Amino acid sequence: MLLILTLLVAIIPYYHPVSAVDAAQWTPVNLPTEGITGKWTLANGSDIRYLTMANDGTLYCYANPSGTTFTLFKSADNGRSWTTTGKVTDVITDIAALPQDSKTIYYAAASRVYKSVDAGNTFFPLPPNPGGAGSGNVLITSLDIVRLDNANIIAVSTIDIDTAQYGGVYLLDESQGMSTWVNTGIGNYDVYRVAFSPDYINDRQLIAVASNEADTFTISKINTMNWGQWVSKARIPGIVPSAAGIAFPDNYHGITVNASFFIGIATGADSGDVYQVNSALASTASTAKDLHIGAVDGLDAVDIAGLATAGNTIIAGCAGSAGVYLSNDNGVSWTQCNKPPTGQTDTCVLIAPDFAAQHRAYAVTGGVESAFSYSIDGGLTWNQVRTIDFLLVQSEIPL
């Protein structure tokens, strides 16, 4: 019996009493302070648009959160955290960053363009009302900039929302000081997007996506020539845009025979799409080929809110959803992403400079759960980094 008791004691686990030193220790954690000092801002109901990257990787976007009156946001850490910048309260219609200088940022409101030379910390206004914008239902729709001979040239497009009234394309050459905007004379068109050729220093080409309220046209201007004088117009019949985008392939040169680029069109009625424009000299009509990006889903047309290219890849963001379509063969075939960005509408896409090596792209959306998302597989799957519809808050998510 003594032996049995000894064995039982040996196999029973020994539990020593918990001392004060071993007890669980709890410490208070301070909740973040509201506002920029706490690196968070309530942002219910925001829509995020015009995602733009400066040449140092800093991201800018427009958002209209209910928790603040400021509308221009900035991220210096790949979208992990966002702060308001420049104390901007305007309804922004476009944002542009000068490729040669990370500190030079422009944004357009309905009637005026503003410039920053300190990475968006402060802005000053450029001459007002290009083409009468801000009055008579004339609005600025897009903005682009180019550096030429050590000075910047700014281009804006405008529309007139009245029937049978039109906007145009206007230029401001900063080498001339604070001069007035110059009408480029595009004619009776509402212009939804204007862009300088990426090789503007050599080809001097300016391209517009425009409408005569019945059809859509892409129209080109070379140097001081008239619109359509050197390169002919391409016509898309029966389509009137509500918004448009332009994306250029690598090594684009505007006066090369059969030079091609891509445009994305939204109509507000899901009758838009991505088109490949093949340019021709004025004696022959240029063409716009409908790429039917939604055919993989049985759709004849898809409104496009964002368009970006790199190498053979084209990424298109949908206007009516958070969907993304992509092509890896210059638009010949298309597939829909496996996992879309978080959000509901107006998917704006941006391809990172390291896309060829890292396959990285970014997207912002509008509507319920609008967010900033990223992809590291060329646009097939998207992961939310920041839900801007709830909080703009610093994160430790690695990118």
Question: What pLDDT, in 10s, does the model give residues 319-376?
Answer: 999 999 999 999 999 999 999 999 999 999 999 999 999 999 999 999 888 889 999 9
Which residue stretches of the chain are H helix? 2-11, 200-203, 355-358
Bridge partners (DSSP) listed for residue 9: none
Question: What Rg do the C-alpha atoms of the chain give, in angstroms?
Answer: 26
Closest Cα to residue 84, out of 68, 100, 73? 73
- Report the C-alpha gap between 273 and 255 in whole angstroms: 25
- pTM for this predicted structure: 0.87
Sign of torsion over alpha carbons 235, 96, 59, 359:
positive
> What is residue 3's predicted lDDT score, i.e. its pLDDT?
41
> What is residue 255's predicted lDDT score, i.e. its pLDDT?
85
| DSSP single-letter state for residue 23 | S
Q: Which CATH architecture has domain 293-399?
A: 6 Propeller (2.120)
Positions of the chain with pLDDT lower than 70, given as ranges: 1-45, 178, 386-399
Sign of torsion over alpha carbons 82, 84, 90, 92:
negative
Residue 162: both structure tokens together: 């009245």
Angstrom CA distances, 270 to 182, 187, 240, 274, 340, stand at 35, 27, 11, 12, 18
The residue type of 161 is I
At residue 389, φ and ψ (nearest 5 deg) are -70, -15
> What is residue 33's predicted lDDT score, i.e. its pLDDT?
47
Sheet bearing 59-63, strands edge to edge: 48-53, 59-63, 72-75, 83-84
Q: What is the dihedral of CA 307, 310, 312, 314, to 10 degrees?
A: -10
Closest Cα to residue 100, out of 155, 149, 172? 149
> What is residue 385's predicted lDDT score, i.e. its pLDDT?
83
Closest Cα to residue 143, out of 52, 13, 19? 52
User: What pLDDT digit, counting tens, does each position of 56-88 carry?
Assistant: 999 999 998 877 899 999 999 999 888 999 999
Closest Cα to residue 243, out of 272, 278, 217? 272
Decide: helix, strand or coil at residue 201: helix
- Report the C-alpha gap between 185 and 235 in whole angstroms: 19
The residue type of 339 is K
- Report the C-alpha gap between 154 and 166 in whole angstroms: 20
Which residue stretches of 79-176 are H helix? none
- Report the C-alpha gap between 366 and 368 in whole angstroms: 7
Decide: helix, strand or coil at residue 375: strand
> What is residue 22's predicted lDDT score, i.e. its pLDDT?
53
Decide: helix, strand or coil at residue 115: strand
- Report the C-alpha gap between 397 and 359 in whole angstroms: 18
Decide: helix, strand or coil at residue 38: helix
- Report the C-alpha gap between 262 and 258 in whole angstroms: 13
Yes or no: say if 205 and 155 are a contact pair by the CB < 8 Å rule. Answer: no
Residue 360: both structure tokens together: 């990285």
